Structure 1
Amino acid sequence: MINRLVHWLTGYVEFSFSGGFASDFLDECYRLHLNIYDIRYEEVLVARCPIAAYKHLHKIAHHHGGKIKIHKKYGLPFCFSKILVRPGLAVGCVLFVALFCFLSGFVWNIEYVGNKTIEDSRIEAFLDKQDFRIGTHWNVKEKQKIEDLMLASFDEIAWVHINRVGTTARVEIQEATPKPDIESKTYTNLTASKDGVIVFAMVRDGWQQAFVGDSVTKGTVLVSGVNTPEKKKENFFAHASGDFIARVNEKFALTVSREQCRKEYTAEKEYRAISFFGMYIPLYIGKIPKENTEIERHNIYLTINKKPIPIGMVKTYVKAYNIYTVTLSDKELLKFTDSLIEQKLSANYGKNNVVSKDIKVALNSNSAVARGRVEVLENIGEEVRLISKNRIKVKKPPISG
């Protein structure tokens, strides 16, 4: 097998000897150490030999009254000779090799490995902002900068490396191991941050002082971090913590201008371009407008075996709009104010945490003013540091409810 491979790489010919003394011809070939093999008789002598040996055969055959004729040529040198005879084919082969080497320097596909809690879309959006996407040319220095930026931008990532696997960029990620929650050794009281009526109480540590149904004021101790037993002289300390949900009354105020800005869409247009290995070839004339427009971009890549390649179409949808001012009527202003009140309540307290509300809206020539009170559910527990652990000796008994 190895000999056959060597013969093919160096090239060999199959020839015939006729019209002379074949035995004398072969004797002289062996005496001159010419490699003649696969010898057989088919009315004439047929054999094979390397290219270098064939150059001497015509002279030897002439000495012994015969002549040499080539039947077939084999091997890599003859393949190249055929190409060189046809300049167009030779140029095409060179261009193909050059194009292949050029295209292999681009990113054809991006894979994400090791990200269990981080969505692919987040990583893809980050890389896109750094201009690292399908069709990007490989750049080792830029790749290292992107790796450093990813470590700085994602707290969940402990280690990241962008490996080059052929034309695929493999983003390998090692997520950080969450640090275990360590119980705080700071000694605190849990106090009320606002006035309210407790509707739910849960104590995680410390000694409970307020219970469901109790009315408390700001600063009231809900869970104590100090316990003083009657029969013992020393105090016991804890990091008081827990959740205390209370019904709390809050003031509410909102002013809404009668003049409001509105957006009116005037036109919608699609711009197409060809993306070819990072090159953007527009199929339109002029520039895409950016002022007073909403722009949405979609990349559609060709696929091979369900894997995208950096050749495709870029569709950019542009919606143009005008901004104008409108003066609301009393009815329109009231309706708009009601909607803003609901939005503000939901944003500040949560959609399901508003128990009741008493809000009045007053209209004037320029605006609507909403004022009143709302009753909401809030977690009013606030930890207040009691004393440094370095200044006391701790002997903590079982926590009592």
Structure 2
Amino acid sequence: MIHLLRWLFGWIRLEAEGGFPERLLNLAAREGIELWGVRRYGIKLTASCPARQYRMLRSPARRAGMRLHVKKRHGVPFTLHRYRSRSGLLVGLTLFIVILQLFSQRIWIVEVRGSKKVDKEKILGVMQEFGVREGADLSNLDIPTLQLQTLRKLPELAWCVVNLQGSIAYVDVTERISPPELSNPDCPSNIKAARDGRIISIEVYTGQSMVQKGDAVAQGMLLVSGIIESSVGPILKRSQARILAQTVRVLEVSVPLKEKQLLATGERILRPCLHIFTLNIPMFTDGKIEQQNKLSITRNMLNVNGISLPLGIICKSYELMEYRDIVRTESQAKELAKKRLKEKKKELAGVEIIMENEKGELKNGRYVLSGVYDCIEDICMEEELVIE
């Protein structure tokens, strides 16, 4: 600490010759002048003293018959004086110290750790809402409160904590593991038909069957009752069964021969910005883009030891779009309809298709492709039994 204070206020290495060195030391001590690093070489004496006390040493030196010479000046005051003509350097140094002090009191990097299923951008958005963002003042953050607010806002998180390390805010999260949904065996229920069909097999585990194999059923019809008659009266049970039925599914798609579509023109407009902490400095002079477009954003940030710093280039790419007339032949419309129907058939992924019949025709300027599918599927639909 003493060395730091001497450096801040400046100190002088001096040389005194002639006269009586011992008398000089005694007079200096009597007047409270601090001397250190005293060395004597014959009639010469070298020592160090604070810069502000050098002039005070002249009177004791005269009384001791010694002459003083400055050998070297040290410390901040002399360094600043040396560079007084370079005002820009001093201003830059001052600004650097101020900016460094300012930056050390703020958050400049926010990083989410531990997120697998929950989107990191979603977590960052909630954190920004509660004040954890680039440029946020650390002294204004109430970490315990915002952690609780985040858990209320994101119920899919089981745990959230914000760890501050310097100017980096690490948001460590643990995702909630949802317990498996357990059916309540004590809750009585009926089983009804989910759709029209003809029953081909019945497996009733609990409950009273109300239909037989070969019966035709309509959607919503009671298949298994949770009310079982017994010698002691009706007993309420939760119905459980697997009832397969032959059903008919109909899917339809249509493709117009003429239509307008919003398509890319092949032209792109790039709008780069220099991102410095919370500032985005445009690196373009163009005005607003009036034409319809599709926006994509790429961020090329400075990366140090795997940490993305808030310094780099953010580039917005606008892909220009325009409406164009699309004209198709019947064969082209037919091929496109087949592709769309194939995609729509994914709705039947959970059923067995035993027969299919697809038919297409032109109708009112559109190619309409219909598919009729004979299926076998479980038509059970459990419904809670309400007793009034």
Letter paired with 1:310 = P
Question: Residues 178-327 of structure 1 correspond to what in structure 2 (within 5 A)?
Answer: 178=178, 181=181, 183-184=183-184, 185-196=186-197, 206-207=206-207, 209=209, 217-218=217-218, 219=220, 224-228=225-229, 233=232, 235-241=234-240, 246-277=245-276, 278-287=278-287, 289=289, 291-327=291-327
SS at match of 1:117: coil
CA offset at residue 363 of structure 1?
2.1
Give the corresponding residue for 2:334: 334
Question: What is the CA deviation profile of residues 280-307 of structure 1, one whole-angstrom value per residue up to 9, with x for unaligned ones?
Answer: 3444442363533223221212223332
Give the corresponding residue for 2:41: 42
Q: Say if 1:147 and 1:160, in contact at 8 Å, map to a contact too.
A: yes
SS at match of 1:287: coil
**What is the alpha-carbon distance in structure 2 between the residues aligned to residue 149 and residue 288 of structure 1?**
38
**What is the alpha-carbon distance in structure 1 between the residues aligned to residue 336 and residue 250 of structure 2?**
21
CA offset at residue 58 of structure 1?
0.9
Question: Residues 362-373 of structure 1 correspond to what in structure 2 (within 5 A)?
Answer: 362-371=361-370, 373=372
SS at match of 1:56: helix
CA offset at residue 54 of structure 1?
2.8
SS at match of 2:326: strand
Question: Residues 2-401 of structure 1 correspond to what in structure 2 (within 5 A)?
Answer: 2-43=1-42, 44-84=44-84, 86-101=86-101, 108-120=108-120, 122-123=122-123, 126=125, 136-138=134-136, 154-157=154-157, 165-173=165-173, 175-176=175-176, 178=178, 181=181, 183-184=183-184, 185-196=186-197, 206-207=206-207, 209=209, 217-218=217-218, 219=220, 224-228=225-229, 233=232, 235-241=234-240, 246-277=245-276, 278-287=278-287, 289=289, 291-346=291-346, 348-350=347-349, 354-371=353-370, 373-376=372-375, 378-388=377-387
Q: Say if 2:208 and 2:227, in contact at 8 Å, map to a contact too.
A: no
Letter paired with 2:195 = K
Give the corresponding residue for 1:398: none
Q: Say if 1:297 and 1:315, in contact at 8 Å, map to a contact too.
A: yes
Q: Say if 1:11 and 1:74, in contact at 8 Å, map to a contact too.
A: yes
**What is the alpha-carbon distance in structure 1 between the residues aligned to residue 352 and residue 80 of structure 2?**
82
Q: TM-score, normalized by length of structure 1?
A: 0.75
Q: Say if 2:301 and 2:310, in contact at 8 Å, map to a contact too.
A: yes
Q: Say if 2:273 and 2:283, in contact at 8 Å, map to a contact too.
A: yes
Letter paired with 2:136 = W
Q: Say if 1:38 and 1:47, in contact at 8 Å, map to a contact too.
A: yes
SS at match of 1:33: coil
Q: 1:137 to 1:217 in 2, by over 3 A?
A: same
Q: Say if 1:18 and 1:68, in contact at 8 Å, map to a contact too.
A: yes
CA offset at residue 61 of structure 1?
0.5
Count of residue correspondences: 381
Question: What is the CA deviation profile of residues 222-265 of structure 1, one whole-angstrom value per residue up to 9, with x for unaligned ones?
Answer: 55534455xx5255433335665654212344444332334554
- Aligned-residue identity in percent: 20
CA offset at residue 18 of structure 1?
0.8
CA offset at residue 38 of structure 1?
2.8
Q: Say if 2:104 and 2:166, in contact at 8 Å, map to a contact too.
A: yes
**What is the alpha-carbon distance in structure 1 between the residues aligned to residue 286 and residue 300 of structure 2?**
22
CA offset at residue 147 of structure 1?
8.3
**What is the alpha-carbon distance in structure 2 between the residues aligned to residue 216 and residue 339 of structure 1?**
34
**What is the alpha-carbon distance in structure 1 between the residues aligned to residue 316 and residue 53 of structure 2?**
67
Letter paired with 1:188 = S
Q: 1:163 to 1:91 in 2, by over 3 A?
A: same
Q: 1:322 to 1:148 in 2, by over 3 A?
A: farther
- The structure whose RCO (Cα within 8 Å, separation 6+) is larger is 1
**What is the alpha-carbon distance in structure 1 between the residues aligned to residue 128 and residue 291 of structure 2?**
21
Q: Say if 1:275 and 1:310, in contact at 8 Å, map to a contact too.
A: no
CA offset at residue 51 of structure 1?
3.4
**What is the alpha-carbon distance in structure 2 between the residues aligned to residue 22 and residue 97 of structure 1?**
44
Q: TM-score, normalized by length of structure 2?
A: 0.77
Q: 1:321 to 1:175 in 2, by over 3 A?
A: closer
**Runs of 5+ in structure 1 lacking a partner?**
392-401
CA offset at residue 72 of structure 1?
2.9
Give the root-mean-square deviation of aligned CA atoms.
Answer: 4.3
**What is the alpha-carbon distance in structure 2 between the residues aligned to residue 128 and residue 316 of structure 1?**
24
